[in-house]
Amino acid sequence: MRFSHRMDNLAPYLFAGIEQKIADKRKSGVDVISLGIGDPDVPTPDYIVEEMQRQVADGRNHQYPSNRGLTEYAEAAAAFYQRRFGVTLDPEREFMALLGAKEGLAHICMALLDVGDLALVPDPGYPVYAGGSIMMGAEVKYLELRRENGFLPDLDELSEEEARRAKVLFISYPNNPTAAVVQDGFFERVVAFAKEYEIAVVHDNPYSEITYDGYVAPSFLAAPGAKEVGVELFSFSKPFNMTGWRTGFAVGNHEILEHLWRLKTNMDSGMFDALQRTSAFILNGPWDSVHEMCRVYQRRRDLLAEALVSVGIEAPKPEATIYMWIPVPSGYTSAGFSEHVLEQAGVVVTPGPGYGPAGEGFVRLSLTAPDHRIAEAVERIERSLRL
Ligand SMILES: *Cc1c(COP(=O)(O)O)cnc(C)c1O
């Protein structure tokens, strides 16, 4: 059979390979603790499940859904952005329902990029920024996120020619995988850069609600002029333990959203109206469950950080996200350390280079395992390092 050239440079998704390794280990009898993929272990809160049950039973939700998004969903998102971020949105023109942020990212690549175009992608970064760009035949220019720079990209590193060629810039704070938060002035700098070079900005924002120690994450759209250059993607997956539900939305620049809408009307026919109404209900409702999850993750973060430090591993405590980005102990590569803890401790961590070449020297640990499993994982890692 003959397949498209598009597929030639597209590797299987990062976690497809890791899932296979876990399955093989478990089959051979190992009690694997996975701190690999960032998939919340706690189920979706009952009040959300109950609302979805009501919506599923309602016949008005059973036909083809609204593709752009139901008015009540768009209005709930606009009200949330106003209340939470001080950002005013036009629900009719500046909102688009998404089947999760991942879907939105891949389709935004399709709407923006042609073969040979240049996409600016943070390194390390969520794999879909590069994957979606490569799928479109675009060229990826990695922007290295350095620790000494607070894991922010340095836009001045780009040559004039690269900046002119670039069509899209992906950013994401609070950040996966580095768990870094944005620094004052960075979003404003991005808006100025994007305006100067006519670059579309995609701010991937699935972690703004998962923060610790009193930190409050801003929206990219709160930067003056941001709506003229970019969109922001919000997801229910992480804050509400809803990774399996596939719900999120994009807000911001009308022109980008109009193209995304036109593309998606030809592809997916929209999101189940029952889920759109439930998503609106979540946005309008009390957020106690999110605050509770922040307490859970903060406790796990502290447990993991203290345990790692006690065995001599450097473990900076993040202010947000469900991850810790850990420099590997000296003498190890990222892959070597990941392999070592899987083979000797039955613990899965994600090697940094899975997020781009600059991830070398780091591993990502996810906080999505119960406390006692995290404690056990660290004990096993400690034992394995003493061998
Ligand atoms: C989890 C994650 C996503 C995917 O979110 P979905 O809404 O589940 O598709 C997107 N971007 C980043 C940075 C993530 O960590």
pLDDT in tens, 123-151: 999 999 999 999 999 999 999 999 999 99
The tally of CA atoms less than 13 A away on the side-chain side of residue 220 is 34
pLDDT at position 159 is 97
Residues 6+ apart with CB under 8 A from 32: 22, 25, 26, 342, 346, 347, 348
What distance in angstroms lies between residue 134's CA and the mean position of ligand 1's atoms?
A: 18
Same domain? For 222 and 247 the reply is yes
Res. 55 pLDDT band, cuts 50 70 90 = very high
pLDDT in tens, 144-193: 999 999 999 999 999 999 999 999 999 999 999 999 999 999 999 999 99
pLDDT at position 387 is 65
Top pLDDT among 233 and 8 is at 233
What distance in angstroms lies between residue 213's CA and the mean position of ligand 1's atoms?
A: 23
Q: Which of 102, 231, 243 to mutate to test the pocket of ligand 1 (most atoms within 8 A of CB)?
A: 102
CA distances from 89 to 199, 205, 227 (A): 21, 16, 9
Of 284, 308, 325, the position where a domain reaches its end is 284
Residues 6+ apart with CB under 8 A from 3: none
Same domain? For 102 and 159 the reply is yes
Same domain? For 152 and 65 the reply is yes
Of 227, 249, 284, the position where a domain reaches its end is 284
pLDDT at position 6 is 83
Q: Give the chain's end-to-end CA distance (angstroms, integer).
A: 50
Residue 64 is classified by DSSP as P
Res. 10 pLDDT band, cuts 50 70 90 = confident
Name the residue with the closest Cα to ligand 1, atom 7: 100
Same domain? For 197 and 224 the reply is yes
CATH number of the CATH domain containing 121: 3.40.640.10
Same domain? For 111 and 252 the reply is yes
Same domain? For 124 and 245 the reply is yes
Same domain? For 101 and 194 the reply is yes
Same domain? For 292 and 277 the reply is no
List residues near ligand 1 (CB under 6 A).
38, 100-102, 126, 172, 176, 204, 206, 235, 237-238, 243, 248
The count of structural domains within the chain is 2
User: Quick check: 385 pLDDT over 90?
Assistant: no
Distance of alpha carbon 230 from alpha carbon 198, whole angstroms:
11
Average pLDDT of 306-334?
93
What distance in angstroms lies between residue 344's CA and the mean position of ligand 1's atoms?
A: 30
Query: 334-345 vs 371-386: helix axis angle to the nearest 10?
Result: 100
Q: Specify burial of residue 285 (Cβ count, 10 A radius: 0-12, 13-18, 19+).
A: middle
Same domain? For 258 and 302 the reply is no
DSSP codes, 273-324: HHHHHHHHHHHHS--HHHHHHHHHHHHHHHHHHHHHHHTT---PPPSBSSEE
Res. 311 pLDDT band, cuts 50 70 90 = confident
What distance in angstroms lies between residue 379's CA and the mean position of ligand 1's atoms?
A: 30
pLDDT in tens, 240-252: 999 999 999 999 9
Distance of alpha carbon 248 from alpha carbon 96, whole angstroms:
9
pLDDT at position 21 is 82
Same domain? For 101 and 224 the reply is yes
Which ligand 1 atom sits nearest the alpha carbon of residue 126? 13
Assessment of whether the complete model's pTM goes beyond 0.85: yes
- For residue 365, what are the domain limits? 5-44+288-386
Top pLDDT among 10 and 114 is at 114
In the sheet that 362-366 helps form, which strands lie side by side, from edge to edge? Answer: 323-327, 362-366, 350-351
What distance in angstroms lies between residue 68's CA and the mean position of ligand 1's atoms?
A: 20
User: Quick check: 259 pLDDT over 90?
Assistant: yes
- Average pLDDT over the chain reads 95
What distance in angstroms lies between residue 386's CA and the mean position of ligand 1's atoms?
A: 36
Same domain? For 124 and 169 the reply is yes
pLDDT at position 42 is 96
Percent above pLDDT 70 for the chain: 99
pLDDT in tens, 191-227: 999 999 999 999 999 999 999 999 999 999 999 999 9
Average pLDDT of 111-126?
97
User: Quick check: 62 pLDDT over 90?
Assistant: yes
Same domain? For 69 and 188 the reply is yes
pLDDT in tens, 71-99: 999 999 999 999 999 999 999 999 999 99
Of 228, 252, 284, the position where a domain reaches its end is 284
pLDDT in tens, 327-336: 999 999 999 9
Residues 6+ apart with CB under 8 A from 92: 71, 74
Res. 307 pLDDT band, cuts 50 70 90 = confident
pLDDT at position 103 is 97
Res. 18 pLDDT band, cuts 50 70 90 = confident
Nearest in space to 97 (alpha carbons), one of 87, 88, 107, 109: 107
Which ligand 1 atom sits nearest the alpha carbon of residue 38? 1
Name the residue with the closest Cα to ligand 1, atom 5: 101
pLDDT at position 130 is 95
